[in-house]
Amino acid sequence: MSFWRALLRETGLTRSAKVEPTEAAMPTPEDHLEEPAAPLPEQVPASAGGVSSGASHRALPQRPVSSAPAAKVPTAGMRAAALERTLQSLVERLGTEHPDTITARNNLATKYAQMGRRQAAVQQFELALGEAVAVYGDDHPRTEIIRENLAWALEDVGCPADAAGQWEILLSQRENQFGPADEDTVEARMRLAVCYRRSGRVDAAVAHYARAIEDVASTERREELRLGMSAAQSMAGRYEEAISQLRMVLAGRRRRLGKGHLDTLAVHHRLGRAYTQAGRADEAVEVLREAYRVALNSSGDPEVRRLTMRLRRDLAGAYNAAGRHREANALL
C-alpha cells in the first residue's frame, strides 16, 4: 500500500480499485491494444462509510439521510434522483460550501458518470471542486479526490486538454508530497502524458512518458508506457524511435506471455506497421509475415482470428510497397 493510500484510509476516505489503463499502440479501433475511456464507477450505499467505485471515480463518505428500507431494488435512475434530492436538501439547509454538500455533489457526479451522463458529471465535479478548494484548500485529500474524478470525467467526455490541466496539478502535488516513484505519482504522470498526446502536445507527452518509464516499478506498466511513447513518437514522425520502443515491448512480451499470445501479436502487428510508416518496406514485410504465420498457428481465439485478418491485409500492403505485387495479390 502506498503512503497516499494509507493517508486516505486514515482520513476515512476510500480509494477505489482502478481499472488499470492500458496504453494504446495506436489510438484506432483496429488495434487490440486499447486505451479505454475514463473508467466508470459503481457506487455502494453511502451508509457503508464511504462510496467506493469499481474504477477511477472516488466518492466521499456521506451521512445517511434516511434509514427507511427500500421497497424494491432501485434502478440507476432512482439512485440518481435520490442523490439529487439529497443534494438539493443540503444546499437549502447548509449552503453550497458545507462539507456534507460537497460530498453529496461529488457522489451525484459519480452516479452521473456511472450512468453515462458525462456532461452532467463534468458540471457537478467542477462545482464540487470549486467548493472543495474554497473549504479545504488545494492540497487537502478530499480536494484531491474530486480533482482526480474531474480529470477522469474530462477525459471521458473528450476534453484531453482540460483534463491535462487537472493532471498537471495532481502530478505536482503528488511529486512534492510522495516523490516521483510513488505509484500514484507515476499514474498521474502517465495520464498527463496520455492527455498531452491526445491534445497534440506530442513532445511534452514523450517527455513525460520517458520520465514515467524511469520511475515505474512494474514491468507490465513499463510496457504500457513504452507503447504510449511509441504512439506519440509516431505522431511526431519519429518512426525510428517508435520502432525501438515497440521492439523492446515485443521482446518482453514474448518472454513473459509467449509469441502466440494476443497481446504479443498485437505489438508484433504494430511493429510491422511502424516499419511501413518509416518507409522500410522490406523490414515491414519480414515482421508482418512472421506475425501472420504465428497468428495462423494461434487462431483458436476469436480475437486472434480478427487480428489475423488485419495482419493479412497489412502484409499485402507491405508487399505492394516493396514492389512485390504478385505476393500481395495472392493474399488479397
Nearest C-alpha neighbor of 264 from the set 229, 217, 216, 297: 297
Chain mean position to CA 325:
41
CA distance 275 to 302: 26
When pLDDT is cut at 50, 70 and 90, the band that residue 72 belongs to is confident
**Domains of the chain, CATH where assigned:** 37-63+77-158 (1.25.40.10), 239-332 (1.25.40.10)
pLDDT given at position 7:
38
Q: What are the cell numbers at 192?
A: 498527463
DSSP state at residue 300? T
N- to C-terminal Cα separation, the chain:
53
The backbone torsions φ and ψ at residue 107, rounded to the nearest 5 degrees and listed phi first, read -70, -35
pLDDT higher than threshold 60 for residue 39? no
For residue 240, give the C-alpha cell: 525510428
127-139 pLDDT, tens digit each: 999 999 999 999 9
Position 57 confidence tier, pLDDT thresholds 50, 70, 90 = low
Average of per-residue pLDDT values in the chain: 83
Q: What distance in Å separates the CA atoms of residue 119 and residue 133, rounded to the nearest whole number?
A: 21
Give all strands (DSSP E) within 113-215, no chain letters: none
Distance from C-alpha of 34 to C-alpha of 160, rounded to nearest angstrom: 16
- HSE-CB for 181 with a 13 A CA cutoff: 4
HSE-up (13 A, CA, CB side) for residue 128: 32
pLDDT score of 245 more than 70: yes
* Residue 332, pLDDT score: 84
Q: Which residue, 51, 33, 34, is CA-closest to 42? A: 51
SS3 244: helix
pLDDT at residue 155 greater than cutoff 50:
yes
**pLDDT for position 235:** 94
Q: Ramachandran region of residue 116, left (φ > 0), alpha (ψ -120 to 50) or beta?
A: left
The confidence band for 11, taking pLDDT boundaries of 50, 70 and 90, is very low
For the entire predicted model, the pTM comes to 0.76
- Closest residue by Cα to residue 155 from 111, 179, 190, 103: 190
Highest mean pLDDT (candidates 14-18, 52-56, 97-101): 97-101
- Compute the distance between CA of residue 294 and CA of residue 308 in angstroms, rounded to an integer: 9
Asked whether the predicted pLDDT for residue 284 surpasses 70, the reply is yes
Say if residue 192's pLDDT is above 80.
yes
What confidence score (pLDDT) does residue 31 get? Answer: 38
pLDDT of 33 over the 80 cut: no
